């Protein structure tokens, strides 16, 4: 945990959030500035700044981010219609909070192009 990281504070319960899922490896909560009807952030409980900071020991938690996304998509009712998963890495990609997070977006037809 990083004492200055916004997401670490949410995971620790120091800041409010609308949590939709939590276990020993990940926490998922609604984005405070949603860009889709369903916009959930799924974050590892361990502080990892970005994809660039991943190590081989993080492979299990990264896989768990994706299986958790599937569960949340089912829970939120978007699994059948479809959803988008996004990980931004670095400022040019739009990463604002430097704690690895997976965006789950759904609830309407997604638009293209993405970049």
- State the Cα–Cα distance between residues 102 and 104, nearest whole angstrom: 6
C-alpha distance across the termini of the chain, in Å: 32
Question: Would you give the DSSP letter of residue 114?
Answer: -
Are 1 and 8 contacting, i.e. CB atoms less than 8 angstroms apart? yes
Indicate which residue of 101, 103, 108, 112 is catalytic. 101
| Residue-by-residue DSSP string for 17-47 | --EEEE-SSEEEEE-SS-SSSEEEEEEESS-
Q: How far apart are CA 104 and CA 49, in angstroms?
A: 19
39 carries an active-site annotation: no
Instruction: List active site positions.
Output: 101
């Amino acid at each position: 945990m990083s004492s200055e990281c916004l997401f670490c504070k949410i995971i620790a319960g120091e800041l409010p959030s609308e949590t939709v899922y939590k276990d020993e490896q990940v926490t998922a909560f609604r984005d405070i500035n949603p860009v889709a009807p369903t916009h959930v952030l799924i974050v590892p409980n361990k502080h990892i700044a970005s994809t660039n900071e991943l190590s081989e020991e993080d492979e299990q938690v990264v896989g768990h981010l994706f299986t958790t996304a599937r569960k949340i998509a089912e829970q939120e009712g978007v699994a059948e219609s479809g959803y988008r998963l996004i990980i931004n890495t670095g400022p040019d990609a739009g990463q604002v909070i430097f704690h690895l997070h997976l965006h789950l977006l759904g609830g309407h037809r997604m638009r293209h192009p993405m970049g």
